[in-house]
Amino acid sequence: MSFTATEENYIKTIYQLQAHDKMVNTNSVAVTLQTSAASVTDMLKKLKLKKLLVYEKYKGFKLNQEGKKTALSIIRKHRLWETFLVNILQFKWDEVHEVAEQLEHIQSNQLINHLDDFLGNPKFDPHGDPIPDANGKMPVQEQINLTKFPMHTVGEISAVGSQSADMLALLRHKNIELGSSIIVEQIFPFDDSIEVKINNQILVNISAKLAQHLFVKQTNYESKQC
């Protein structure tokens, strides 16, 4: 079964909205894809016909097993291409998304599997998100990006996503190092900066950009949807 780029974008969006098999509603898909609710309804009929989702009108919808499998293969492609762009072609983190959105729709299993091998079968992409394998199995995320770390939960700095001298200087100034304990206390939506407590002592403000480069390990946190 193969899909148009548009269909794939809907599938991916629905997958991301239905974490833990929650029902998804029309409007949230419309907002995410910046389209109208009517267009979403049209596409839902089509995807139901292709047996990718469970859908009764006015009742919400969610991907079935086949739909989730399809979503995972798209996500696999997206994250492998992001890894390629950053690790091999020297793109910056914030430059890859738009291009990866195009590359993820290239249809060729041979291509994506060779790319996977060439990259050394990475388990996580440059944003720290797990890359599903060829069977759709998602690696367990031992460390996650600080921007995705839940509030009021104790974690430990496990990796930094950059080696730039400027960044290391900033971390030293904030008294953050590998192994420091960290708790997210507050998030400021205005600039996406966050306030964290380091080593159970000092409160520090971390910019969105810095947070993107910090990875946190935590124990006993439920793993992502599979």
List residues binding DNA (CB under 7 A): 4, 6-7, 25-27, 34-46, 55, 57-60
What DSSP string describes 54-104? EE-TTS-EEE-HHHHHHHHHHHHHHHHHHHIIIIIT---GGGSHHHHHHHT
Distance CA 3, CA 44 (A): 14
90 contact choice in DNA, its own copies, none (CB below 5 to 8 Å, kind-dependent): its own copies
**The tokens 């993820």 sit on which residue?**
104
First and final C-alpha spacing in the chain:
21
Binding mask 82-121 for its own copies (x = CB under 8 A): ---x--xxxx---x--xx--xx--xxx-xx--xx--x---
46 contact choice in DNA, its own copies, none (CB below 5 to 8 Å, kind-dependent): DNA
Residue 50 or 148 having the CB closest to DNA: 50
Residue 4 or 153 having the CB closest to its own copies: 4
Residue 61 or 124 having the CB closest to DNA: 61
216 contact choice in DNA, its own copies, none (CB below 5 to 8 Å, kind-dependent): none
Distance CA 171, CA 19 (A): 33
The CA-CA-CA angle for residues 71, 123, 82, to 5°, reads: 65
Query: Could you tell me the sign of the dihedral formed by the alpha carbons of 215, 90, 97, 125, in that order?
Result: negative
Cβ at position 35, least distance to DNA in Å: 4
Is the Cβ–Cβ distance between 186 and 171 less than 8 Å? Answer: no
Cβ at position 136, least distance to its own copies in Å: 22
Cβ at position 130, least distance to its own copies in Å: 23
Contacting residues toward its own copies, per CB under 8 A: 85, 88-91, 95, 98-99, 102-103, 106-108, 110-111, 114-115, 118
